[in-house]
Amino acid sequence: MPTQSAARERVLDAASELFYREGIRAVGIDTIIARAGVAKMTFYHHFKSKDLLVVEFLRRRDERWRRWLAETVERLSPDPRERPLAIFDALAGRFANPDYRGCAFINTVAETADPGHAARHAVLEHVGAHARLRAPPVGGGGPCRRGRRGGPVRRAHAVDRRRARHGGARGHAGGRIRGEAHRHEAISS
């Protein structure tokens, strides 16, 4: 007989696959129970409601996504100074996967209209954790131009905000990268 934690994991595995592939609202509890091969009572022993299952699905996905990102970026770029750009390579590989259906967190927000929904809180936790990710600064970790510490991705975001305020004046890291990309597009055309 399977253990309680094994049954819980099967429910989460089934829900994760179905929620991501078909959408949270399109998948009912009975479908998840059938896919997981558990009794309804077992399901409700572990998850008091579908909403709580959705929250657990998102927390688990967040944990796995962050672990995947860190491991993939490190594998793609053993040199920490090159890791900010390796993030883009990692994401490009993920987006190219034929099973990719977009961001599970954005998809969840699109499916849950109620701003007080428990799933929305789990999405905000993910976004907050994602925003706190700091890429290692290029050049050894010194302060950026305005004396703030932060990785190049954070600095590029700050450049975007300054560019928007100042009518598109090119900033340092982000502006140069985009400027080079635009020059490349013009030459290639």
Residue 154 within a domain: yes
pLDDT one-digit tens code per residue, 71-98: 999 999 999 999 889 999 999 999 999 9
Tally of domains within the chain:
1
Each residue of 28-64: pLDDT tens digit? 999 999 999 999 999 999 999 999 999 999 999 999 9
**Does residue 164 sit within a domain?**
yes
Give the integer Cα–Cα distance in Å for 183 and 6. Answer: 54
* pLDDT exceeds cutoff 80 at 134: no
Instruction: Scan for tokens 């590989």, then name that residue.
Output: 93
Cα-based distances in Å from 63 to 47, 122, 141, 146, 183: 19, 12, 27, 33, 38
**Pair 70, 35: CB distance under 8 Å:** no
In sign, the C-alpha dihedral spanning 85, 91, 95, 97 is: positive
- Does residue 71 fall inside a structural domain? no
Which residue's structure tokens are 């179905």? 18
Residue that has been written with the tokens 């007989």 in this structure: 1
Domain residues for the domain of 178 are 137-189
Residue 94 falls within a domain, yes or no?
no
Identify whether 42 is part of a domain. Answer: no
